[in-house]
């Protein structure tokens, strides 16, 4: 996508001659412009566009309502009671205990809270620290499913490794197991698996999960999971890869409180797995943020202890929003891929696009045309594969029902407008 004019863009011209790893990081994320400057992420760009135009923001995935009062109150209490200084390097004990209890309650996993759990500044830091910690050679490869969350390609490039992609294809976005098996080789250091998946909303099948573990064992790769949408599934309960036979000793599981508790601004995440792998991540993590968010760590400990019906309730509420969004998109003329989990729904906008344009053009014009912001799937795809996703758009369902209904009403106006 072309860079936006100020005020959305960062200072593009000032960065051009500055040597450093920023360049390969931006390039890895597809954000290095033709002039050699780094553009902001698609999420920053599109949220700025929504703020500027007053459009309904179904772009960046963040809820527009607060999470459970008990969790918000626990943060206030923690601040009032003086939990305002550095947390221990691995995170406050109450949260590490709560993560351990959560892993046991939902998945039967039994991580040791003292050695096998590390609290991080969101899943983003957990992912960055993990990739930086475990990648050691330009010949190392990291296998990801494409489309992929933007930070994966950025961090793999920063760490100096090669990204190898396995395509997820419209409309169900399940990987072909032969593609997967071809992608994983003895060069594979990490298989990075986001399930439930952003941006497609796919939940991987048992066969895919088994094949990932089989290939990781066969090629001695580490499995890194991104399970930030673990509680936002609309069918069967989530199955962590770490629960599969043979997986535990080679798997680092990453998650975050942001989605489950509607606290994306708190940036409390965690990684769990075998002590030696967690120690390796800690060795890097402690020089990124050292620690973060002490009172919020206490509050999320309270959140993770909420009863089961809280967790089933968030999934049910999001499922209703997904359904509302899906019906609205279809009525507006999109073809919809029904997601099995996550905040997101992918829709094909082909019928609504002017000839010769793509989803990036469509999304850039959408705020002006009907007052809605959405994200083109090409933002999650490496340059050589963008044509395969050129008509697909991601909409976020994690908004109030009246907001989704408003957006659907606006999108319905597309059919009557000139393209
Ligand atoms: N992974 C995925 C798949 C995401 O969608 C997000 C965005 N929320 C993150 C990681 C980052 O999570 P956090 O906000 O906890 O850093
Ligand atoms: N996870 C959010 C999304 O996919 C965005 C988070 C971010 O802006 N980095 O929309």
- For ligand 2, atom 4, the nearest C-alpha belongs to 61
Task: Tell me the pLDDT of the chain averaged across its residues.
Answer: 95
CA of 259 to the centre of ligand 1 (A): 8
Q: Over range 272-276, report the average pLDDT.
A: 98
CA of 116 to the centre of ligand 1 (A): 21
Q: Taking 70 as the threshold, does the pLDDT of residue 5 lie above it?
A: no
For residue 416, the model assigns a pLDDT of 80
CA of 416 to the centre of ligand 1 (A): 36
For residue 2, the model assigns a pLDDT of 37
- For ligand 1, atom 5, the nearest C-alpha belongs to 198
Q: Over range 115-140, report the average pLDDT.
A: 98
Q: Is the CB of 200 inside a 6 Å radius of any atom of ligand 2? A: no
Please state the three-class secondary structure of the chain as a single string.
CCCCCCCCCCCCHHHCCCCCCHHHHHHHCCCECCCCCECCCHHHHHHHHHHHHCCEECCCCCCCCCCCHHHHHHHHHHHHCCCCCCCCCCCCHHHHHHHHHHHHHHHCCCCCCCCCEEEECHHHHHHHHHHHHHCCCCCCEEEEEECCCHHHHHHHHHHCCEEEEEEECCCCCCECHHHHHHHCCCCEEEEEEECCCCCCCCCCCHHHHHHHHHHHHHCCCEEEEECCCCCCECCCCCCCHHHCCCCHHHEEEEEECCCCCCCCCCCCEEEECCHHHHHHHHHHHCCCCCCCCHHHHHHHHHHHCCCHHHHHHHHHHHHHHHHHHHHHHHHHCCEEECCCECCEEEEECHHHCCCCCCHHHHHHHHHHHHCEECEEHHHHCCHHHHHHHCCEEEEECCCCHHHHHHHHHHHHHHHHCCC
Q: Is the CB of 278 inside a 6 Å radius of any atom of ligand 1? A: no
Q: Given the CA of residue 126, which atom of ligand 1 is nearest to it? A: 16
Which domains are assigned to the chain?
41-65+310-416 (3.90.1150.10), 69-304 (3.40.640.10)
- For ligand 2, atom 9, the nearest C-alpha belongs to 43
CA of 60 to the centre of ligand 2 (A): 5
Q: Is the CB of 378 inside a 6 Å radius of any atom of ligand 1? A: no
CA of 199 to the centre of ligand 2 (A): 10
Q: Taking 90 as the threshold, does the pLDDT of residue 294 lie above it?
A: yes
pTM across the whole model? 0.95
Q: Which range among 10-19, 80-89, 306-315 shows the weakest confidence by mean pLDDT?
A: 10-19
For residue 417, the model assigns a pLDDT of 77
Q: Taking 60 as the threshold, does the pLDDT of residue 138 lie above it?
A: yes
Q: Is the CB of 264 inside a 6 Å radius of any atom of ligand 2? A: no
CA of 43 to the centre of ligand 2 (A): 6
Q: Is the CB of 198 inside a 6 Å radius of any atom of ligand 2? A: yes
Segment 20-79, tens digit of pLDDT: 999 999 999 999 988 899 999 999 999 999 999 999 999 999 999 999 999 999 999 999
Q: Which ligand gives the minimal distance to the CA of 198? A: 1
For residue 17, the model assigns a pLDDT of 81
Greater confidence, 109 or 15?
109
CA of 355 to the centre of ligand 1 (A): 34
Q: How would residue 15 be classed by pLDDT, with cut points 50, 70 and 90?
A: low
Q: Taking 60 as the threshold, does the pLDDT of residue 197 lie above it?
A: yes
Segment 298-310, tens digit of pLDDT: 999 999 999 999 9
- For ligand 1, atom 12, the nearest C-alpha belongs to 123
Q: How would residue 12 be classed by pLDDT, with cut points 50, 70 and 90?
A: low
Q: Taking 70 as the threshold, does the pLDDT of residue 8 lie above it?
A: no
Q: How would residue 7 be classed by pLDDT, with cut points 50, 70 and 90?
A: very low
Segment 143-187, tens digit of pLDDT: 999 999 999 999 999 999 999 999 999 999 999 999 999 999 999
């Amino acid at each position: 996508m072309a860079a936006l004019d100020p005020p959305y863009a960062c200072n593009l011209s000032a960065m051009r001659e500055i040597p450093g790893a920023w360049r390969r990081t931006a390039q890895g994320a597809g954000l290095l412009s033709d002039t050699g400057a780094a553009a902001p992420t698609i999420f920053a760009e599109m949220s700025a566009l929504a703020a500027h135009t007053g459009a309904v923001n179904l772009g960046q995935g963040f809820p527009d309502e607060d999470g459970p009062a008990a969790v918000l109150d626990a943060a206030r209490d923690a601040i009032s009671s003086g939990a305002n200084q550095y947390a221990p390097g691995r995170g406050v004990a109450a949260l590490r205990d709560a993560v351990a209890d959560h892993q046991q309650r939902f998945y039967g996993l039994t991580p040791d809270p003292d050695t096998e759990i590390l609290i991080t500044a969101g899943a983003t830091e957990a992912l960055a620290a993990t990739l930086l910690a475990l990648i050691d050679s330009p010949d190392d490869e990291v296998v990801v499913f494409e489309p992929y969350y933007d930070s994966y390609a950025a961090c793999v490039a920063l760490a100096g490794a090669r990204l190898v992609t396995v395509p997820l294809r419209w409309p169900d976005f399940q990987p072909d197991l032969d593609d997967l098996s071809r992608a994983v080789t003895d060069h594979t250091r990490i298989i990075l698996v986001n399930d439930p998946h952003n941006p497609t909303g796919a939940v991987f099948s048992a066969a895919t999960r088994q094949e990932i573990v089989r290939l990781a064992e066969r090629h001695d790769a580490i499995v890194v999971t991104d399970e930030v949408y673990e509680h936002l599934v609309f069918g069967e309960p989530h199955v962590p890869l770490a629960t599969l036979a043979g997986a535990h000793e080679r798997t680092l599981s990453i998650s975050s409180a942001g989605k489950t508790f509607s606290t994306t601004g708190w940036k409390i995440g965690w990684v769990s797995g075998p002590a030696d792998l967690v120690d390796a991540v800690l060795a890097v993590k402690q020089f990124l943020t050292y620690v973060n968010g002490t009172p919020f760590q206490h509050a999320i400990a309270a959140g993770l202890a909420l009863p089961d019906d809280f967790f089933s309730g968030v999934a049910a509420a999001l499922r209703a929003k997904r359904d509302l969004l899906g019906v609205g998109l279809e009525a507006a003329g999109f073809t919809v891929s029904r997601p099995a989990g996550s905040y997101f729904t992918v829709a094909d906008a082909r019928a609504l696009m002017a000839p010769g344009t793509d989803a990036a053009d469509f999304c850039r014009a959408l705020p002006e045309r009907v007052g809605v912001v959405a994200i083109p799937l090409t933002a999650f795809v490496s340059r050589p594969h963008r044509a395969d996703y050129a008509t697909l758009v991601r909409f976020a369902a994690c908004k109030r029902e009246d907001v989704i209904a408003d957006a659907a009403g606006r999108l319905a106006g597309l059919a009557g407008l000139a393209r």
